[in-house]
Chains A and B, each alone.
Chain A
Amino acid sequence: MSDSPSASYLPEHPPVTDWVNDFDHTDPVWTEDPFPIWETLRAASPVVHTERFLGCYMPTTYQAVKEIAYDTEHFSSRRVIVRDIRPEISARAPPITSDPPEHKPAKQVLLPPFTPDAMKRLEPRVRAICNELIDEFIADGGCDAAARYTKHIPVRAIAHMLGIPEKDGDLFIKWIHQILELGIKDDDQMMSGVREMTGYFMAHLEQRKLEPGNDLISQLMRAKGPDGQPLSDDHVLGSLRLLLIAGIDTTWSAIGSSLWHLARTPADRERLVSEPALMPSAIEEFLRAYSPVTMAREVMKETTISGCPVKSGNMVLLSFPAANRDPAMFPDADRVMIDRKENRHAAFGLGIHRCVGSNLARMEMTVAIEEWLKRIPDFRLDPAGKVTWSEGTVRGPRQLPVLFGKGS
């Protein structure tokens, strides 16, 4: 996603010298390796603050993250990305941007298509997608696994669910880059991405008004809101925006980080091949250790979190990834143990905003790793290449050059 930093990225943020009082999750040092930074912040306080982003807190412990996630009275979800600016709220994406009482009905509409059983029906298509992708590069002896493999799986899976052409995936990837990465510092990019996406989906809505189908877009158009009436076009468009924004680079990142780990850890790779029953706990451990998604809240009323005062008018960087590395919650938190028994990780959030696509993400991760290991059981990072990581809200490898085989 961050293949080419654009000129509109300016103004750049000054480099961070004091992480505890001036943290910045878009700083290149954080992007490259956030884990030691989180340790420093956690040692300083359960909640830290920065003047950047017009004022923003970050809970650093699992406990503080949980308190905020459960507290919808003091913390609103109306803004879910920490950015340099806070423009008027326009493009909503219910239910992720909804607070109670609007949240529950908006979420219930989306839940049935994403149950584990629904995902089982989608699984054969995802398995085929993975193999189609592997076919394209397996003869090359190596590849950029982020660009050639992990990037395309979630896009094609969600396109398949929505009943739109899988080949439109490149468009989605562009919009998401504009909204989630460039948009942190450049509102024009954000708005342009939102506009194009809305236009694209509006055309699909109009088409289905003439010819209703059984895909997810048609299901949403048929769904009834709490008032018994069909959802407005605006609501359907908002939810479609959400599915794309939340469903693509998140899982792309999660699969990529898992492969990155396996490329560097032959013992885990061999163990997964010889003990496939470990796959579920391995997937949960990858989700914990390399959680891709950091959310945000806006403080609406002054309160106290883990003993720390929190004032309204500030944003909150709700780092589920940092919570998942808290040693008070997870023994040996920085060690990846694919057979970890007790793992209440918060990669998909805690409380009412639990990720609606968590079952989809798990299925995609499982299938993507299984199919890769079946055909490429041995691989390693290409020493001549460079791994790069996405910036900001969703963390995962955007370049992942690997070589196939055991090597010398």
Chain B
Amino acid sequence: MSKLRIRVDQDKCQGHARCKSLAPELFELDEYGNAHEAGDGVVPAGLEDKAWLAQTNCPEIAIEVTEE
């Protein structure tokens, strides 16, 4: 099965924090509440659904999910 990788586009993220609420394991918030992918952005096995859920709920369409 292919591996997923996420990336938060810092030019687009406005800190709605929907991703952090839906997939806390995959995102980190900075002091301003803006989101960043946790670690290198590789989605651990079993968390793929959460990655897609975060992606499809971001109001700014700031989360990229790529299949590797």
Binding site for B on A (CB under 8 A): 108, 111-112, 114-117, 280, 284, 341-346, 348, 350-352, 354, 358-359, 362
Contacts and interface: CB of A to CB of B under 8 A. Distances in A.
Given A112-B31, A115-B33, A116-B29, A344 B57 contact: yes
B59 interface: yes
Q: Which of B17, B57, B59, B60 is most buried by chain A, counting CB atoms within 10 A of its CB?
A: B59
Nearest to B15: A354
B17 A344 contact: no
Contacts, number: 52
Interface string B15-33: 1111011100000010111
Interface string B40-68: 00000000000001001111110000000
Contact of A115 (B21, B22, B29, B56): B29
Contacts of A350: 14, 59-60
Given A116-B21, A344-B56, A359-B17, 6 more contacts: A111-B15, A116-B29, A284-B18, A344-B57, A348-B16, A362-B21
Given A112-B31, A115-B33, A359-B33, A354 B14 contact: yes
Interface of B: 14-18, 20-22, 29, 31-33, 53, 56-61
A115 to B, nearest CB: 4
Nearest to A115: B33
B27 to A, nearest CB: 11
21 contacts: A111-B15, A111-B32, A112-B31, A112-B32, A115-B29, A115-B31, A116-B17, A116-B20, A280-B21, A284-B18, A341-B53, A342-B57, A344-B56, A344-B57, A344-B59, A350-B59, A351-B14, A352-B14, A354-B14, A354-B15, A358-B17
A152 B53 CA distance: 34
B64 to A, nearest CB: 15
Contacts of A116: 17, 20-21, 29, 33
A284 B20 CA distance: 14
B15 A344 contact: no
Classify the interface of chain B: helix, strand, loop or mixed. Answer: loop
A351 B15 CA distance: 10
A344 B58 contact: yes
A358 B56 contact: no
Contacts of A359: 17, 33
A157 B60 CA distance: 28
Nearest to B59: A344
B33 A114 contact: yes
A93 to B, nearest CB: 19
B29 to A, nearest CB: 6
Contacts of B21: 116, 280, 362
A348 B17 CA distance: 11
Nearest to A111: B32
The 4 A-B pairs of least Cβ separation, nearest first, read A354-B14, A111-B32, A115-B33, A342-B56
Q: Which of A108, A341, A354 is most buried by chain B, counting CB atoms within 10 A of its CB?
A: A354
A284 B53 CA distance: 13
B54 to A, nearest CB: 11
A351 B18 CA distance: 15
B57 A358 contact: no
B32 A358 contact: no
Contact of B16 (A342, A352, A354): A354
Contacts of A344: 56-59, 61
A132 to B, nearest CB: 27
A348 B15 CA distance: 11
A345 B17 CA distance: 13
Given A348-B16, A354-B14, A358-B17, A341 B56 contact: yes
A345 B33 CA distance: 19
A117 B33 CA distance: 9
